Amino acid sequence: MKRVYNFSPGPSVLPLPVLEKAAAEMCDVNGTGQSVMEMSHRSKDFKPIIEKTEALLRSLMGIPEDYKVLFLQGGASLQFSMAPLNLAAVPEGEPKKRALYVDTGIWAKKAADEASKYVEVSIPASSKDRAYTYIPQAPAPAHGDAYYHITLNNTIVGTRWPSVPDTGSVPLVADVSSCILSETLDVRKFGILYAGAQKNLGPAGLTVVIIREDLIGHASSRTPALLRYDIHAGEASMYNTPPCHAIYMTGLVLQWLEDLGGVTAIEKINREKAGLFYSYLELSKHFVSPVEKNSRSLMNIPFVPRETDGEKRKRIEDRFVKEAAAAGLVNLAGHRLVGGMRASIYNAMPIEGVRSLIQFMETFERSLN
């Protein structure tokens, strides 16, 4: 069987034991004689699957009892609308409420732009002035603000909040798509956490929302049913057909993580992987990380040639990505909006993959001398 080291930012690498178990159960899961993809979501066969997935997530993240876990669809991008629609509704004709958004990259900006349709968006801090290569100091919210939004890990530019801002009584809402379960996180510091599954949880198609119960039930009557947290919470994520197979796969990934030792264990591995790669870049003659040290992501590591000539730099990048793929190191091109290269080293990326990438880069560098 041929397997490459897949550094894709998403959909991303999945643990091999998970894929093997899913393959073995493709036609018969849990002795039911059915594939999960054939099951009714309301059946006695699927109920234990979704319940176990939620229980594992609660255990691994330490989710308090007064938080709901919702299994939704639409990707993290749909949460750009759902959060303001549910947290900042006002009667028709009244002024919009204000919400704060810290601008730390392309996805953070998209979230703010979408929210501006429903709330008065204030951006108290931004790192756009230096191409989003750092996390800015975030001012405290004002009393009466509807909520405070951050993107905890910025997939495209490779930055990560070094600490969670204290927003007091104002609910903190965070997009954790590319860092969920990568390191320990105090759920109590947040009003809402949301994540697309396709990076650290499972395959694309599932979105997980973790929401404090007192924040549920505030959408206006005009809000579409599928965009209301209270309806999904009241129906235990079964208001409409959920992404059953993605939930099943996520459950397998969570079981794999628990068997590995949980979030504390994977955080240690992730810090070791990132440390190896950043240490290599610090000593490299031809490649460099564009991100400030105290803002560097554990999950997404952009790197660029030190070459200053634009045309030569582009040739190096194109050659690097092509030759790396031929060596079994795939999906290393940077995002189309920023260029360069990027290694996404999510939970399922083994440390051997990072070592193989470094070994390839050392050989590639010698060819540039």
Q: Where in the sequence numbering do the catalytic residues fall?
A: 107, 175, 199
Rounded Cα gap, residues 210 and 232, in angstroms: 12
Other C-beta atoms closer than 10 Å to the C-beta of 23 total 9
Asked if residue 80 lies in contact with residue 127, where contact means CB atoms within 8 angstroms, the answer is: no
Return all residues near 104 (Cβ < 8 A) that are at least 6 apart: 126, 127, 132, 135, 136, 150, 151, 154, 157, 159, 161
What does the block give as tokens for 365?
Answer: 């560098």
What does the block give as tokens for 345?
Answer: 């080293």
Other C-beta atoms closer than 10 Å to the C-beta of 64 total 12
The distance in angstroms from the start CA to the end CA of the chain is 36
What does the block give as tokens for 101?
Answer: 């958004």
Element containing residue 329 per DSSP (H, E): strand 329-330
Rounded Cα gap, residues 40 and 42, in angstroms: 5
Beta bridge partners of 69: 210
Rounded Cα gap, residues 337 and 346, in angstroms: 21
